[in-house]
Amino acid sequence: MNLKIKYFGMLTEVTGCTEEQFPLIEGNIADVLQLLMNKYPLLKEKEFQVAQDQVIVDIKKPISQGEIALLPPFSGG
Amino acid sequence: MEERYNRHIILPEIGIKGQEKLLAARVLLIGAGGLGCPIAQYLAAAGVGTIGIVDFDIVEKSNLQRQVLFGESALGKNKAIMARERLKDLNPGITIHAYPERLTPKNALDYFKEYDIIVDGTDNFFTRYLINDAAVLTNKPLIYGAIYKFEGQVAVFNYKGGPTYRCLFPKEPQEGTIPNCTAMGVLGVLPGIIGTMQANEVLKMILGIGEPLSGKILFYDALKHQTQVMKLNKNQEEIDKIYAQREEFTDREEVNSYCQTTTTTVVAIKDVLTWEDTQFIDVRNQEETPKINEIKVDQIPLDQLLLHKNQLANSKKKVIFCQSGVRSKKAVALLEEQGITNCWSIKEGAHQIKEILAESVMAIDKL
């Protein structure tokens, strides 16, 4: 079972992709983020919010099958 | 009115009543840049009766790639005033107030009180959080838009007690962690798309049709032409913090943000002449005069500064000037964002610098 991870804005420059499949693990979203930060250490320095299945959620929320999106703030105008 | 707004009026969802609502509406736009230009253009064309435009900045050549209200004749002039000039011709039947100044904690609440809807077309986090908090304190809906390279975000905040920008991103990111268009570049049409979406939200809100993008944030990717809407919940704790700081709001520090350099990095040419180990950098474009040839000067136009940052001498005091002292300030902010320190902006423009240099050369000759 896989989890789809989506990246937006400057985060795609850290990960080199806009989305990827990630093995579904037990735990909460923070656990997934920890694994992602191990994979992409530069992610630790980035600001972002997390959406699970198109809803912005607290990272303490348990993982469910579906999609997790990492959403950074943009400042340009 | 019937002829100009005919295509609105014949829509049953708008009609004469809807058009009258538009003409009675008062909308305040902060920023007349990439986002602000299309926003102002469509609101004015639609007949929004009173539009206020706040922008302290001047039109530069590198703006013309996306800031569609301006042409070459506007170069060097204030954006709010130049936008009003263009919009007056587009629709002389509406009122446009140009405020050629920076939005600050001191003036924000007074401006917001005069309008029904606030639109964020700015380019830095400091002003975005200021706008959000002032919208909460004055109880005004806020139409938010922001861009990064090929991507954009749109949302309606603080609408009928809905979520605010701080419910999405509670804390202001540290300056320099997220680059803006000047530093990163942006596809010219992107602010056109995002700004037009913001204008659409304003018109829907005034007309009371459709569903406002409240409690949601839309992400747009121009390269894939994909939109995704994420649901956003209200975070009352964050909103309460804004109210709790109400008394101190106008005393809030006007922190250094992009285009807002602290005065300590601005210097007078007379003082600079006493310094040692300086590198003078002219950030004007090649064709601008007068040329400064009394001293050794490296010429790097502002829009190429980051490309050529290896020409900057690490060990020296980098003293930057331009035609009026505006671009040189931007250059310092830009370099500081990149972690390049020891940069100074000369407060005088090139004409004055040349005069002062000529005088000091004469003084040396006399010795």
Whether residue B181 is predicted with pLDDT greater than 70 in this model: the reply is no
Question: Does the pLDDT of residue B262 top 50, yes or no?
Answer: no
Q: Is residue A25 part of a domain?
A: yes
pLDDT at B95 over 50: yes
- CATH value at residue B310: 3.40.250.10
B31 to chain A: which residues are within 8 Å by CB?
Answer: 77
Instruction: State which residue of chain B sits closest to A48, comparing Cα positions.
Output: B169
Task: Flag whether pLDDT at B317 surpasses 60.
Answer: yes
Within-domain flag for A33: yes
DSSP assignment, residue B69? T
pLDDT at B221 (0 to 100) = 97
Q: What is the mean pLDDT of chain B?
A: 91
Whole-angstrom distance, CA of residue A25 vs CA of residue A29: 10
* Window from B41-55, B95-109, B113-127, B276-290 with minimum mean pLDDT: B276-290
- CB-CB: which of B151, B168, B224 is closest to A56? B168
- CATH, residue A34: 3.10.20.30
The answer to whether residue B42 is domain-embedded is yes
Q: Please identify, among B208, B223, B251, the residue that sits at the C-terminal boundary of a domain.
A: B251
Mean pLDDT, contiguous 10-residue spans, chain A (77 residues)? 93 96 92 96 94 96 93 94
Q: Are residues B230 and B344 in the same domain?
A: no
**DSSP string computed for B1-14:** -TTTTHHHHTSTTT
pLDDT over 70 (residue B178): no
Question: Can you tell me the distance from the alpha carbon of B317 to that of B94, in angstroms, rounded to the nearest whole number?
Answer: 50
Q: What is the mean pLDDT of residues B320-339?
A: 86
Domain that holds residue A60: 2-71
Chosen domain end from B222, B251, B280: B251
| Closest to B330 (Cα-Cα) out of B297, B305, B298 | B305
Query: Which residues are bridge partners to A55 per DSSP?
Result: A52, B231
Domain end marker among B228, B251, B274: B251
Q: Of chain A residues 18-77, which have a CB less than 8 A from chain B? A: 18, 45-47, 49, 51, 54-56, 69, 71-77
Tens digits of residue pLDDT in B30-54: 999 999 999 999 999 999 999 999 9
On chain B, the residues whose CB falls within 8 A of the CB of A54 are 228-231
What pLDDT, on a 0 to 100 scale, did the predictor assign at position B259? 43
d(CA B342, CA B339): 10
What is the distance between the alpha carbons of residues B229 and B212, in angstroms, rounded to a whole number?
12
Counted domains in chain B:
2
Do B199 and B312 lie in one domain? The reply is: no
Point out the residue among B122, B151, B179 whose CB comes nearest to the CB of A77: B122
Shared domain check, B278 and B178: no
Note whether B195 and B48 are same-domain residues.
Answer: yes
What's the domain range around B315?
263-366
Confidence of residue B358 (pLDDT cuts 50, 70, 90): confident
> In whole angstroms, what is the distance from residue B332 CA to residue B302 CA?
10
ipTM tops the 0.90 cut? yes
- Specify the pLDDT at position B263: 44
Of residues B261 and B176, which shows the higher confidence score? Answer: B176
B55, B172, B178: best mutation site toward chain A, by most A Cβ within 10 Å? B178
Show the beta-strand stretches assigned E in chain B. Answer: 26-30, 50-54, 95-99, 117-120, 142-148, 151-157, 216-221, 226-231, 266-267, 278-282, 297-299, 317-321, 343-346
Residues B100 and B235 in one domain: yes
- Is there a single domain that holds both residue B181 and residue B228? yes
How many structural domains is chain A composed of?
A: 1
Contacts of B184 in chain A (CB under 8 A): 76
Question: Would A6 be classed as within a structural domain?
Answer: yes
Contact (CB<8Å) A74/B177: no
Answer yes or no: are the C-beta atoms of B215 and B158 closer than 8 Å.
no
User: Does some domain include residue B1?
Assistant: no
Q: Is residue A8 part of a domain?
A: yes
pLDDT tier for residue B315 given thresholds of 50, 70 and 90 = confident
Residues B185-240 have pLDDT tens digits of 899 999 999 999 999 999 999 999 999 999 999 999 999 999 999 999 999 999 99
Contact B230, A55 (CB under 8 A): yes
- Tokens coding B366: 């006399």
Q: Tell me, yes or no, whether B37 and B74 share the same domain.
A: yes
Chain B partners of A56 at a C-beta cutoff of 8 Å?
168, 217, 230-233
Q: A9 touching B, CB under 8 A? A: yes
Q: Tell me: do B166 and B93 sit in the same domain.
A: yes
Q: What's the rounded Cα separation, in Å, for the pair A37 and A3?
A: 16
For residue B197, give both structure tokens.
């979406």
A58 occurs within a structural domain: yes
DSSP B86-103: HHHHH-TTSEEEEE-S--
Q: A47 contacts in B (CB within 8 Å)?
A: 169, 173, 177-178
Residue B61 pLDDT greater than 80, yes or no:
yes
Q: Could you tell me if residue B256 is inside a domain?
A: no
Q: Tell the burial category of B240 from Cβ atoms under 10 Å away from its Cβ (0-12, 13-18, 19+).
A: exposed
What pLDDT was estimated at residue B267?
A: 85
Instruction: Confirm whether B76 is domain-assigned.
Output: yes
Same domain for B323 and B238? no
